[in-house]
Structure 1
């Protein structure tokens, strides 16, 4: 029996290297595949869209907030992978009756690199994990050098409408906004994802509205509707996966951020 600790410092005891994995977090599912663990994945959520055909190969056990526990149990997993933000405490408690559960907690890129390192140890994929970690570090450093030339802009990053919701403090999204020299207008709110009124945008002198493609799939029609309601210099749809997915998605995120900066300039 070997013991590990997840990112909530919860002890996990494993008899051997897990051969049957259920992943309940889309970005972590993508990471597993890039770590060479595709064959070991037996269960995923309906939101695990990368790689595109994976859901046809694996058992879909539900969503990130609601899972069919009987489906998970039937897969006889050796380990179940969760996330503090994506999955509820109640889910984790129920899943622990089935198999050991690893819970990630990601607010920064360093947290993401730590998670990749934990997976490297648990699944014995140190070589591939090291490649991904070094790639992310290199891309981040190059981007930070470029970002010194970016103007600082005050932004609101919308994740939902009806009600309007934005990314706030202590979120991975805000961490990536800061790397882009975007100043988040809603850091003083108590909630990490506060509901706001559109009239707050002008009061806070927001210069740019970023409309995420997820979890709410903002479209061009939303830009046109907002232009009629708010006075903001720029409204832009951005790929939410690059601003909220961690793990191996970060290897391509910084090039995407450069494209966003070019559009806004």
Structure 2
């Protein structure tokens, strides 16, 4: 007698409960693998799409506009504000957040209703960890490990620039720069730059014109985001710092995650005035 056993399709199996520790040391218990993910950090959202989770993502922030297909996902929040009723509507079984991008208050509110995993990225190495952990979190280990390998290879081709003193400006009124314990600073140092404002206790110190002048800067990079610096501000900085080179730069190339691949190509071709 021939007996045939017909197994149900994979998606018919009930998700298992999984316990995981996030980057802040919080214990998160959730259905594994997650089928309905809300992601509230643009760089992580783009990365989740990059490792093949487009079908699982059911909510994003209004700033999560990459890749293009992300715009088809309902916007349920900003990075600093929530629309709780919209999150309830999409019924996530996991919410992914990031310590810098999102507020502790947002984490605390959402954790009352849903499993919330909080990542933290302050360095290139932590960016690799985040990508790897996104794979483990979602049962996409092979895809995430492949992405990390590809990024690491691309980063071996980054230019090694002169040890110039550089400020990366993200805001005005007040002027604010990227400082210690930021992915931006980690990347600038990887390129070979000296970043004098890491001596501040603030991660994004606010500076006066006098402090800019006292820093003896070789180069000032004006980012396209979060403040959209343009030629007008470039002229103003040049008048303030006549002995420094002032350049506009694409701030999105300083995102972590899958964008690091595009960033590596951008920095390889970008002509820094040093």
Distance 1:12 1:159 in 2: 33
- Report the alpha carbon displacement of residue 12 of structure 1 after superposing the two structures with TM: 1.1
Does the 8 A contact of 1:208 with 1:232 survive in 2?
A: no
Distance 2:81 2:55 in 1: 24
1:1-265 equivalence runs, <5 A:
1-55=17-71, 57-143=72-158, 146-147=159-160, 150-243=161-254, 245-260=255-270, 262-265=271-274
Distance 1:99 1:201 in 2: 45
Does the 8 A contact of 1:154 with 1:206 survive in 2?
A: yes
Unaligned runs of 5+ residues in structure 1 are none
TM-score in terms of structure 2 length: 0.90
Superposition misfits of 4+ residues, deviation over 6 angstroms: none
Aligned length: 258
- Report the alpha carbon displacement of residue 127 of structure 1 after superposing the two structures with TM: 1.8
Does the 8 A contact of 2:179 with 2:200 survive in 1?
A: yes
- Report the alpha carbon displacement of residue 29 of structure 1 after superposing the two structures with TM: 0.4
Does the 8 A contact of 1:209 with 1:232 survive in 2?
A: no
RMSD, aligned CA: 1.3
Distance 2:120 2:151 in 1: 18
Does the 8 A contact of 1:43 with 1:61 survive in 2?
A: yes
- Report the alpha carbon displacement of residue 107 of structure 1 after superposing the two structures with TM: 1.0
Unaligned runs of 5+ residues in structure 2 are 1-16
- 3-state SS of 2:112 partner: coil
> Alpha-carbon deviations, 1:6-25, whole Å to 9, x = none?
11121111232100010100
- 3-state SS of 2:125 partner: helix
- Report the alpha carbon displacement of residue 53 of structure 1 after superposing the two structures with TM: 4.3
